[in-house]
Structure 1
């Protein structure tokens, strides 16, 4: 009994940025639960006004005009793509800057700013909800504003950098999985609550709650103790926007080191997974409403169920796998295979039952994301972690951009042939990511066979009893 209490107290003492991640992603999923439906509704209202019709967009699933529904779906898909582009482009630069700031000026600043930007964007969404005459391009303005302050990718990179400075290599994967699980817990709670709030009130209430959680995130992170060992005081704005930050970040990836090839391969493999993850979420609402006739509230519940399965997989089963010394590369490969299975089943779904079963596999597919992040974090010294994760968050924004463009282009193009065709294409991308992971492992093992163990590089992470993982060149 005392041992159990001791373990619980020990876990509580390790809590640092996890609540901040939870608050931020509650805000994100409140926003996500209302944003796509509002874009869809505004697109429908614009179409109805253009043809001087009295049809109700709330009952669009009962319309007999199939061509009209297809047009609205395509137009909504285009606006979703535009908003993603408007967020991603400015965020590309900000991500690299914030990653370098994390190494030079401490871990807190990159965690504080994104919440402020998202809160400002939420104010614009409230105005759009209340003022019907506001043009649809205001969605793009709000997205650009949040990107300029650093969005979800910058937040994740900042918080993972914080955890890296606050953990050992032996505990890092588990700490990462717990931190990552906060995003999924938020995904479980928020859509259900947001759906109920939206049904009972309005879009304005949902966006207001979202903005409140973003502000709460920034306040909480500002109160944390900075664990960074290389903190430097910011003297002026020129130091923040010095081009050196970009140069040093790029050097972190390309400079000569024994595991440079593996780092590059893992970043590319991670990018592919993130493109698919971003793209599938971008078209999920369209797929479920077009093919399974989901309502807005049903979509929210399904979205929550999806993240509930991810929470169980990452918060419970991944730490359990690490407890039994399962190597990160095996966990990552297992996650990729589960994701391929999930997307195949989901693409074939003709009813809610098969779609729900596919999510059971989809949850374990999230192992790939956490494992890739853990592998990358262990590949460089602590004073380069922020810069490397800044590059990783840069690829995350690239993935949002590419995911939106690719999936929102493929979905309307492939829908006449097979509604799930886009998901089948995604499975091919995941197979490529799996191949890159295997290649990284092969290169490392080949190099170890050629090297003399007595002359091993002392700067590499120390070996552990986990022989299979040590073959990858990382410690765990």
Structure 2
């Protein structure tokens, strides 16, 4: 038992880093929105009005409408440069290593945290000053770059058979860290105020930087990075100095990220990558509205929740998503071991269906009990992202992981901005007659994702069945001493190993039953 625990602990790499980063992200996100609401109200009305907005419906609508606009501006200030930097830094991590790129977002977050602290202490400072934090976080890569580096790190150290399980564990870290952040953030804000919360946010990112520097080992060996750098230099000509070399790497990284989805690939894999991305696009647009509007929606009548209630709801919802992943992914790993991607898509579809049901319930919720039930109804949301990431790594070469995740990050960040603009304007336009209408639109977007997922599953089943048939024919040729290409022999060996593993697993099950 002790040996098993020790092996599990030794296998831990970037999971604590992602846990801490998401702990901080969810700690500051909702509290920053509350700070914006507080600053907007105090800069427009006196303190007595701000402490009891629910009694003044007209003022409440005006404050929340103006706050929604500033939340949108902050998102743009952090997401636009963040998306650009993720596109550059993601592929660049294939050359310089994952660790150095992983540290940049925490450096920007630490700088942003200092500005948050100052704005919390000097509450009458203009709302515009908060945008400086967004810019600092954006130019250092923000969440997109951090997630690209973490996921690329895991793909470096895992094989395809265990990758979905490890990616699922990473996704669970997002929700477990988020749960603690939401619970602690709401409670600390009510008891100690904004300054304490943002000081904790600063401490978290300093801890992340310390862990990466001291504990984390580089996942890309130096000889592999040197090989990629030499290969790149051969393509563009040897740069005369390090400054030019750095610029050439940046330009090449951007080109690689922009082209990785559209490169011609074996069979229908390019189409499958594009369909996989379309599922993400529609899902992320809906998710952006959820992120921006949930706090505003729950603070608006008829719910009119206090900050602590909002924190409990967000924490419960996040915790249930993480718990679902922890409980379900061991089952998925056992069932889908060596399975084809089309079978994995069933789990992604289940996650999308859960998301649709959750958004629909939010749109209709007029009581605290019904709104809280969304935590259970939509708890399978994380399945979709984990399965999509696993499938994407099976559709590209191992040397393209950083570029692929960077491209995905750019597209998702662009869609987050698009969705933020769309849903913030839609919420302001519909708040008078149906505040929950925006969540119904999110459910419709998720339904589109579900249609894409079903079609992708159908097309992958046909494509991968044909590929296995070709490999089976290759095995017959090999047994008959017929000629085969070197590349085919490698694929045949892999197929035979998979079949041998399945036979051994079958024997083990039979022996256990006996």
TM-score (norm 2): 0.84
Secondary structure in 1 aligned to 2:123?
A: coil
Distance 1:21 1:274 in 2: 20
Say if 1:377 and 1:389, in contact at 8 Å, map to a contact too. Answer: no
Alpha-carbon distance, 1:22 to partner: 1.1
Secondary structure in 1 aligned to 2:92?
A: helix
Distance 1:222 1:331 in 2: 36
Residue number in structure 1 paired with 2:470: 453
Alpha-carbon distance, 1:319 to partner: 2.7
Say if 2:90 and 2:403, in contact at 8 Å, map to a contact too. Answer: yes
Distance 1:19 1:445 in 2: 36
Work out whether 1:228 is the aligned partner of 2:220.
Answer: yes
Work out whether 1:294 is the aligned partner of 2:305.
Answer: yes
Work out whether 1:364 is the aligned partner of 2:364.
Answer: no
Offset from partner CA, 1:335-362 (integer Å, 9 cap, x none): 0001101111121111111111121021
Alpha-carbon distance, 1:106 to partner: 1.1
Residue number in structure 1 paired with 2:460: 444
Say if 1:26 and 1:190, in contact at 8 Å, map to a contact too. Answer: yes
Work out whether 1:265 is the aligned partner of 2:275.
Answer: yes
The size of the alignment, in residue pairs, is 458
RMSD: 2.3
CA separation of 1:418 and 1:54: change in aligned 2, threshold 3 A: closer
Choose which of 128, 144, 151 in structure 2 pairs with 1:153: 144
| 1:67-106 superposed matches below 5 A | 67-106=58-97
Distance 2:258 2:140 in 1: 21
Work out whether 1:25 is the aligned partner of 2:22.
Answer: yes
CA separation of 1:239 and 1:58: change in aligned 2, threshold 3 A: farther
Greater mean alpha carbon deviation, residues 191-200 or residues 291-300: 191-200
Say if 2:273 and 2:395, in contact at 8 Å, map to a contact too. Answer: yes
Alpha-carbon distance, 1:278 to partner: 2.3
Residue number in structure 2 paired with 1:285: 295
Structure 1 unaligned regions, length at least 5: 468-476
Residue number in structure 2 paired with 1:189: 180
| 1:131-150 superposed matches below 5 A | 131-150=122-141
Work out whether 1:305 is the aligned partner of 2:302.
Answer: no
Distance 1:401 1:236 in 2: 35
Distance 2:42 2:246 in 1: 44
Distance 2:243 2:127 in 1: 34
Alpha-carbon distance, 1:266 to partner: 0.6
Distance 1:348 1:372 in 2: 29
Residue number in structure 1 paired with 2:50: 57
Greater Rg over alpha carbons, structure: 2
Structure 2 unaligned regions, length at least 5: 230-240, 338-342, 475-486, 503-514
Choose which of 360, 367, 373 in structure 2 pairs with 1:351: 367
Offset from partner CA, 1:414-456 (integer Å, 9 cap, x none): 2333221111111111111122222223333344566661478
Residue number in structure 1 paired with 2:38: 41
Residue number in structure 1 paired with 2:419: 403
Greater helix share, structure number = 2
| 1:116-265 superposed matches below 5 A | 116-223=107-214, 224-229=216-221, 230-232=224-226, 236-242=242-248, 243-258=251-266, 259-265=269-275
Secondary structure in 1 aligned to 2:300?
A: helix
Distance 1:249 1:195 in 2: 38
